[in-house]
Chains A and B, each alone.
Chain A
Amino acid sequence: MSGPSMLPTLAASGEVVIEDRLSLRLNPASLARGDIIVVRSPIDPTAIVCKRVIGLPGDVICVDPTGLKAPSTEHVLIPKGHIWICGDNMAYSRDSREYGPVPVALIRSKLFARIWPLKDRTIFWNSMRVLH
């Protein structure tokens, strides 16, 4: 793992995580908002990026409520077959706010757990709840 775009969930470097490649292949519908996934970068075919899923196809996403990368009233309807990804460290993350919705076919895997450093070992549960 490298890069500060998923702080504080994942450190900038020196961590080892387990990717789960099988569950999304066996059951593509198990992709949920809030999962951390590994995706091949839409702007660089040789790079892979690790971000969190914010929106699924059909959702309306507010691109950037802080107004940094887009006017804060701009909303996007995610087309069929695409998802919206965002890094946890929104101040330093190149994600869908810059390059728009990402095709689902680019997803490689979901992150399952962090195993190094041992004192920070965790399984990444998806604890997102919908607020009504």
Chain B
Amino acid sequence: MRPSAILHRQTRSWHNFAPPLKSLVTSVRTYIYWFPTVFVVSYYFYYLKIVSGRSMQPTLNPDSSLWRDVGLFNRYAIHTKRDYHRGDIVALCSPEDPNRVLVKRIIALAGDRVKTLPPYPDPEIVVPQGQAWIEGDEPFHSDDSNRFGPVPLALIESRLVTVVWPPSRFGNLFRPIQIDKDTSTPHKHSAYRLAMAELDRQRWRNARVTAVPHNSLQ
């Protein structure tokens, strides 16, 4: 047969499908095509996660915000590079409930001595090898190491890179304060006072930890 007749027959078979079905099949094929890439990127590299709850206030989910924070989390640093630092906000599986994911801050790593908060029974603890002490920034509403003790590092899944939603809080963790330059009383600006309060909280957290210098993985 002539080649053009064969081609005609092939194109005609598409025309037999109703148009919505054809576009559905095309879009399903696109999803299937991209699914492995998206899966690998979100499982090994970066993914977005909604943070809910009050345990990391005021750093995440402050009461002044109408939205729950959506954060960009980095799995590569934890899964592959095993790069843990004190002060990182991380997502980890809860040791009390394997289906629950907690977002907390690493306060201390293996070997450090930590002054604990109630309800932990001992006033001081040395974090064992391969474990970490995690706490939420809001000590009164936080389900953290002060309740269940040090957690194995293997439970930690990913590290928070930045907040991406709401737009007013984009990158909020690392933004330097903006103060109007021609004010004569910078210490009365609310932005300055908020920043100083954040610094104070950081100092209080660091003061409760006696760190040992780490030259290895942990």
**A contact residues vs B (CB 8 Å cutoff):** 28, 40-46, 79-82, 99, 102-107
Selected from B96, B148, B152, the residue in CB contact (under 8 A) with A45 is B152
Q: Name which residue of chain B comes closest to A40, CB basis.
A: B154
Q: Which residues of A contact B148 (CB under 8 A)?
A: 79
For the complex, is B172 an interface residue (Cβ under 8 Å from A)?
no
**B contact residues vs A (CB 8 Å cutoff):** 82, 93-98, 128-131, 148, 151-156, 217
* Complex alpha-carbon distance, A44 and B95, angstroms: 16
Whether A105 lies near B131 (C-beta < 8 A) is no
A-B contact pairs, 28 of them (CB 8 A): A40-B152, A40-B154, A41-B130, A41-B152, A41-B154, A42-B130, A43-B131, A45-B82, A45-B130, A45-B153, A46-B82, A81-B94, A81-B95, A81-B96, A81-B97, A81-B98, A99-B128, A103-B93, A103-B96, A103-B98, A103-B152, A104-B98, A105-B93, A105-B95, A105-B155, A106-B152, A106-B154, A106-B155
Additional A-B contacts beyond A28-B98, A43-B129, A45-B154 (9; CB < 8 A): A42-B131, A43-B131, A79-B148, A81-B94, A82-B95, A102-B152, A103-B155, A105-B95, A105-B155
* Complex alpha-carbon distance, A106 and B155, angstroms: 6
Q: Name which residue of chain A comes closest to B155, CB basis.
A: A105
Q: Which residues of B contact A45 (CB under 8 A)?
A: 82, 130, 152-154, 156
Q: Which residues of B contact A99 (CB under 8 A)?
A: 128
* Complex alpha-carbon distance, A44 and B82, angstroms: 11
* Complex alpha-carbon distance, A103 and B131, angstroms: 12
Q: Which residues of A contact B129 (CB under 8 A)?
A: 43-44
Q: Which residues of B contact A40 (CB under 8 A)?
A: 152, 154
| A43, A79, A102 interface centre (most CB from chain B within 10 Å) | A43
Whether A80 lies near B97 (C-beta < 8 A) is yes
Whether A43 lies near B130 (C-beta < 8 A) is yes
**3 tightest A-B contacts by CB?**
A43-B130, A105-B93, A42-B152
Whether B94 lies near A105 (C-beta < 8 A) is yes
| B96, B148, B154 interface centre (most CB from chain A within 10 Å) | B154
Whether A43 lies near B93 (C-beta < 8 A) is no
- Chain B proximity of A28: nearest CB distance (Å): 7
Q: Name which residue of chain B comes closest to A101, CB basis.
A: B95
Q: Which residues of B contact A28 (CB under 8 A)?
A: 98
Q: Which residues of A contact B155 (CB under 8 A)?
A: 103, 105-106
* Complex alpha-carbon distance, A127 and B154, angstroms: 30
- Chain B proximity of A13: nearest CB distance (Å): 23
Whether A79 lies near B96 (C-beta < 8 A) is yes
Q: Which residues of B contact A46 (CB under 8 A)?
A: 82, 217
* Complex alpha-carbon distance, A35 and B95, angstroms: 20
Q: Name which residue of chain B comes closest to A107, CB basis.
A: B98
| B93, B130, B217 interface centre (most CB from chain A within 10 Å) | B130
Selected from A41, A42, A79, A105, the residue in CB contact (under 8 A) with B98 is A105
* Complex alpha-carbon distance, A103 and B155, angstroms: 9
Q: Which residues of B contact A102 (CB under 8 A)?
A: 152
- Chain A proximity of B153: nearest CB distance (Å): 4
Q: Which residues of A contact B128 (CB under 8 A)?
A: 43, 99
